[in-house]
Structure 1
Amino acid sequence: MLPSKERPGWGAFVGSQVQSLRDEGVDIDVIHIRSDVSKWEYWKAKATVRDHCRAKDYDVIHAHYGLSAAPCLFQTQIPLVISYCGSDIFGHTDVDGKTSFKSAVLAAIQRLFGYRAAQVIVKSGEMKEQLPKAVQKKTHIVPNGVSFDRFHPGDKQAERARLGLQPDTFYVLFPYDPLRLRKNYRLLEQAIETLNSQGHTLAPLIMFEKHPDELAHAMRAADCLALTSYWEGSPNAVKEAMASNLPIVATDVGDVRWLVSGVEGTEVSTTETEDFTTALRRIVERGNRPTTARSQMAHLELGAVARQVIEIYKFSSQKRKKG
């Protein structure tokens, strides 16, 4: 799960964390498992991990995503840290928000990998609660960080001109693939259709798997962010919108309610169409006022989060030395 030339936005949060850790002085070698090419890449990575471990005395191995930990389970000398990302704990949902049997079984297997980890990182308390009790004892809640240099407020009309958008339309940013069922795009479609029938002029601004810089421009051009998912861990788009002072309407998933608590210009809703439409209407009717969320999230800046991860590395490495 890393950005590539073909998919510059895929796993961008992992790429950002790698760079922020390097900025803090951590020496990192990256093994990119191209699971988007084939799931067999997880199995093939076993040999790559083995060769790296033989060639260099690492203090810790950090696997992002449950299945990425699988190739690391065959070595026992180097402490393993697993960062769960969401679907590796909850599974994948269908159009009705239900998890298939196959996906549920695969998620259950990945949760068991936590037994072999020295330490585990999750993005929210909701994710932690899904892990076995013994694994929870060594689990840390560390949401992904946000680049304040990339995501920041700006000139909305200038950004709209750059993207070729209408100056007076109320744009609702949806930064996900509408075909990903768990993202529940149809909820936003229904809400926009209802509000437009009542005299408003809303339009979705869909942007996914783009370079993070492009997403940052879209954040500054939009009027609000919509998160309609059935579940999330700690949605990066919400934190990026907060850093951009962009109003937010989101379903009550992951740590969203905690993230936006006390932030004026944010709404948390159920996945019921009427509730979400009402929440979006409140955002529309408050006008084009930005939020002040950026000033309330210094603890989620990339460097601050990187330093938390480094402490987890140190703890894992110290336990190895004591052993």
Structure 2
Amino acid sequence: MTTIGTGRAMPSSPEPWNSRPSIARCSDRFDNDGIAGALMTVMATVTDLRQDEGRAACASVSALRVLYLFPGRPEGSAMIFAKKQVEAMGTLGVAAEAFCLESRTDLSGLRRDASRLRDVIASFRPDLLHAQYGTMTAFFATVAANVPMVVTFRGSDLNPAPSDPWLRSLAGRLLSHLAARRAAGLICVSEQLKRRLWWGRERALVLPSGVDIELFQPHPQAEARRELGWSQEERIVLFNAGLSPMVKREDLAQAAVLEAERLCGRITVVRLDGFVPQRRVVAMMNGADCLLLTSDWEGSPTIVQEALACNLPVVSVDVGDVRERLLGVTPSVIAERSPSALAQGLCEVLRRRSRSNGRTAAMPVAQVRIAEQTVALYREVLTRLVRGGAAC
């Protein structure tokens, strides 16, 4: 088995699976000793900002203004799929502005962000706030914002996070549930994730993140391989290790590929690490023979939607909404969570050496369609709040 690192330059020699250090996820982090203090300080600092949500609900629902809240810094590729979804809102006439919650554990940083958020709300005057992640990001918005809020839960904000200390993971999920109870609207990217909600399950809308079908398009495999400098003869499997290989179960993927090599010969694994530019990912999708997914937990993995849009076959365990996404897609395989079953699926796909019909299946989750359904939810939330007796 040959493993190729991704991104900048391809190494001349095979790269071991675990030669790169683990990179922390761009998600909420907690100092276990400071959880209680952080929550109390945040709430004490911003309680005076809480106002009647109905005031904002009285805004016109014909010209929406939405403030989007993201975890982390504005630069970089973290949550690029969500940021691109916000861009799509502009085509539907939504006035959109982004706010990045840079500090999620530092108390002084949270105070600064609370003040900064208050200033942005005062100047932008949004009808809605849309938190693009749960945990501290969404919880902060519930206590710091004076406008109705929608929350999108994406995966590890409600699912267990094996790469995090257990207390940090538990605290993050608790904050997600508290935010869900307070929010005016809820989105979960899969049915599995929706079932994990403690409160608001009956009003949660299931919407995947959406894929940019204009960027992720099928191209001839031979051309893509020439662009990437890949051999035309190799059988290449794409694996998304992301920012947390432990969560993606890289160990299971490695075992499956080793078993597949015993069954059907040499396989080259190309490893995505979360920092590869999107246009290069498109070339990789078109140059590879299949995508392998082995995660224990997922919401609605965007990597699968992107593979479908490029007609790249997928071999995956049954996780998140992958089974639903792959319905009717051939060649593609949903396999049991074992090296032998995954190996059989890999060999089945690799022996065919053909593209899939996945692009047809990707159309329902195209960004513009997801954006349209999201806007419909915004209007429903505002209408419901007005009818509920908001004082204008």
Give deviations 1:91-117, integer Å, cap 9, x for gaps: 3115xxx98344123212312210110
Match of 1:91 among 156, 160, 163: 160
Partner of 1:61: 129
TM-superposed CA distance for 1:175, in Å, is: 2.5
273, 278, 283: which one aligns with 2:349: 283
How far apart, in 2, do the equivalents of 1:181 and 1:215 lie?
Answer: 21
Q: How many residues align?
A: 315
1:231 lines up with 2:297 in the alignment? yes
Q: Does 1:256 align with 2:331?
A: no
Matches of 2:110 and 2:228 in 1, distance apart? 38
Cα distance, 1:281 vs. partner? 1.7
Q: Are 1:218 and 2:287 an aligned pair?
A: no
2:142 is equivalent to residue 73 of structure 1: yes
Residue 299 of structure 1 and its aligned partner are, at CA, apart by 1.5
Aligned sequence identity (%) = 24
Given candidates 141, 144, 149, the residue that maps to 2:209 is 144
- Comparing 102-111 and 203-212, the one that deviates more: 102-111
Pick one of 148, 152, 174 that aligns with 2:239.
Answer: 174
SS at match of 1:81: strand
Contact 1:18–1:28 (CA<8 Å) still a contact in 2? yes
Whole-Å separation in 2 of the counterparts to 1:43 and 1:269: 48
RMSD: 2.2
1:14-25 paired onto structure 2 within 5 Å: 14-25=82-93
Deviations 1:209-261 (A, max 9, x none): 22221111110111001111001001101111111110000111011111101
Q: Secondary structure at the match of 1:25?
A: coil
Say if 2:318 and 2:334, in contact at 8 Å, map to a contact too: yes
Are 1:93 and 1:182, in contact at CA under 8 Å, matched by a contact in 2? yes
C-alpha spacing 1:182/1:274, structure 2 compared with 1 (3 Å)? same
- In 2, Cα distance between equivalents of 1:283 and 1:154: 19
2:306 alignment counterpart: 240
Distance 1:180 1:113, change over 3 A: same
Match of 1:129 among 183, 187, 195: 195
Residue in 2 that maps onto 1:47 = 115
Tell me the secondary structure at the aligned position of residue 172 of structure 2: helix
Q: 1:29 aligns to what?
A: 97
Amino acid at match of 1:84: F
The gaps in structure 1 that reach 5 residues or longer are: none
Separation in structure 1 between the aligned mates of residue 323 and residue 375 of structure 2, nearest angstrom:
27
Distance in 1 (alpha carbons) for counterparts of 2:242 and 2:144: 36
Query: For structure 2, which runs of at least 5 residues remain unmatched after alignment?
Result: 1-69
Determine if contact 1:2/1:15 at 8 Å carries over to the other structure: no
Question: What's the counterpart of residue 370 of structure 2?
Answer: 305
- Contact 1:89–1:110 (Cα < 8 Å) also in 2: yes
Query: Mean Cα displacement is larger for which, 268-277 or 242-251?
Result: 268-277
Q: 1:3 to 1:174 in 2, by over 3 A?
A: farther
Matches of 2:203 and 2:260, distance apart in 1:
47
Deviation at 1:137, TM superposition (A): 2.0
The structure-2 alpha-carbon separation of the partners of 1:59 and 1:202, relative to structure 1 and needing over 3 Å to count, comes to same
User: Per the alignment, in what secondary structure is the counterpart of residue 180 of structure 1?
Assistant: coil
Q: In structure 1, what is the equivalent of residue 151 of structure 2?
A: 82
Name the counterpart of 1:195. 260
Contact preservation (8 Å) 2:188, 2:194: yes
Structure-1 separation of matches of 2:112 and 2:207: 29
**1:114 counterpart (167, 172, 180):** 180
For the residue of structure 2 that corresponds to 1:217, the secondary structure is helix
- Asked whether the equivalents of residues 325 and 361 of structure 2 are also in contact (C-alpha less than 8 Å), the reply is no
Bigger radius of gyration among the two: 2
Counterparts in 2 of 1:6 and 1:32: CA distance versus 1, 3 Å: closer
| Secondary structure at 1:297 match in 2 | helix
CA distance in 1, matches of 2:322, 2:110: 31
The answer to whether the Cα contact below 8 Å between 2:74 and 2:100 also exists between their aligned partners in 1 is no
Q: What SS class does the counterpart of residue 158 from structure 1 fall into?
A: helix
> Aligned partners of 1:3 and 1:20: how far apart in 2?
21
Deviations 1:144-170 (A, max 9, x none): 111111111111111111111121111
8 A contact 2:239–2:269 mirrored in 1 = yes
> Aligned partners of 2:171, 2:339: CA distance in 1, in Å?
30
Distance in 2 between residues matched to 1:33 and 1:2, nearest whole Å: 5
The answer to whether the 8 A contact 2:150-2:184 is kept is yes
**How does the TM-score come out when normalised to structure 1?**
0.91
